[in-house]
């Protein structure tokens, strides 16, 4: 049954919708955590340490964090594979492009695929920068995320990469939330307006919340 569902277009869209909502929930929590940087070094570094001790003593050090990481990896892979296979299926069903493009297709809709690629590349860079320190500018310090964040956003390329990626996040969320709602059957004539408003609000909130951190470093509010 699982294979039958996965092989169907509806099944792939459902997997894509559910995995997308999981990642959206993570983004909201992650953004709230990031904003703790405005409360100072001690608050932000303590929050980063707390993430590794959640669930103790029942859960060992970092176990809860690794559970979250595994869930996110599964969600990202499922989302990407579903998106790719649906794209290939769409191309096979329509080998020649339409003569006239759909006039009502939004910018976010037309750039979903490239937005996904940008975000995938950003995730790799972000992990290598602030998790492993492999491509981090300056001296990466384990256990000192506040200092590492300030280092990254003290460079023009760190700011550029991050802000471009967050704009892509906003566009992706704006269209993705709406699509997920339709796929999961939440859409209707009476709820469509509320869902579109929610999608726009989430996209704006997440973009502004994430971009606030590099802007804070650039303006000296965070230093």
The string of DSSP letters for 106-154 reads: -HHHHTHHHHHHHHHHHHHHHHHHHTS-TT-SS---TT-HHHHHHHHTT
pLDDT at position 103: 47
Query: Comparing 189 with 29, which gets the higher pLDDT?
Result: 29
Distance CA 126, CA 213 (A): 14
Of 128, 209, 221, 131, nearest to 169 (Cα)? 209
Residue 104 has φ and ψ, to the nearest 5°, of -90, 0
Q: Is the pLDDT of residue 91 over 90?
A: no
Mean pLDDT over all residues of the chain?
88
> ω into residue 113 within 30 of 0, thus cis?
no
What is the per-residue DSSP string for 192-212?
HHHHHHHHHHHHHHHHHHHHH
CA–CA gap between residue 185 and residue 164 (Å, rounded) = 32
Q: How confident is the model at residue 94 (pLDDT cuts 50, 70, 90)?
A: low
Q: Is the pTM of this model over 0.85?
A: yes
Provide mean pLDDT across the span 209-216. 97
Q: How many whole angstroms separate alpha carbon 102 and alpha carbon 104? A: 6
**Is the pLDDT assigned to residue 138 strictly greater than 80?**
no
Q: CA angle, corner 49, sides to 127 and 75, nearest 5?
A: 40
| Amino acid 97: pLDDT | 55
pLDDT at position 113: 72
- What pLDDT is attached to residue 95? 58
The most distant pair of C-alpha atoms in the chain lies apart, rounded to whole Å, by 63
Which one of 8-12, 116-120, 122-126 scores highest in mean pLDDT?
122-126
pLDDT tens digits for range 177-209 = 988 888 888 877 778 888 889 999 999 999 999
Tokens 């892979």 correspond to what residue?
77
Highest mean pLDDT: which range of 30-44, 109-123, 127-141: 30-44
Look at residues 184, 162, 180 and name the one whose alpha carbon lies nearest to residue 172.
Answer: 180
pLDDT, residue 7, reads 79
> In angstroms, rounded to a whole number, what is the distance separating the alpha carbons of residues 50 and 43?
10
- Best-predicted range by mean pLDDT (30-34, 142-146, 196-200): 30-34
Query: Which is higher by pLDDT, 116 or 221?
Result: 221
* Alpha-carbon distance values, 12 to 2, 110, 180, 210 (Å): 11, 20, 12, 30
Is the CB of residue 222 less than 8 Å from the CB of residue 213? yes
């Amino acid at each position: 049954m699982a294979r039958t569902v996965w092989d169907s277009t509806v099944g792939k869209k459902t997997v894509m919708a559910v995995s997308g909502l999981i990642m959206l929930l993570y983004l909201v929590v992650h953004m709230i955590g990031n904003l703790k940087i405005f409360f100072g070094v001690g608050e932000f570094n303590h929050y980063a340490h707390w993430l590794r001790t959640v669930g103790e003593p029942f859960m060992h050090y970092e176990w809860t964090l690794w559970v979250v990481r595994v869930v996110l990896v599964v969600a990202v892979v499922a989302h990407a594979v579903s998106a790719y296979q649906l794209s290939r299926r769409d191309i096979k069903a329509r080998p020649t492009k339409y003569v006239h493009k759909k006039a009502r297709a939004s910018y976010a809709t037309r750039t979903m695929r490239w937005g996904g690629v940008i975000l995938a590349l950003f995730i790799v860079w972000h992990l290598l920068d602030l998790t492993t320190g492999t491509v981090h500018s300056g001296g990466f310090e384990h256990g000192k995320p506040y200092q590492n964040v300030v280092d990254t956003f003290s460079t023009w390329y760190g700011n550029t990469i991050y802000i471009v990626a967050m704009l892509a996040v906003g566009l992706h969320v704006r269209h993705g939330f709406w699509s997920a709602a339709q796929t999961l059957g939440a859409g209707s004539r009476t709820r469509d307006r509320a869902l579109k408003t929610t999608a726009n609000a989430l996209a704006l909130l997440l973009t502004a919340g994430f971009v606030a951190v590099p802007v804070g470093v650039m303006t000296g509010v965070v230093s």
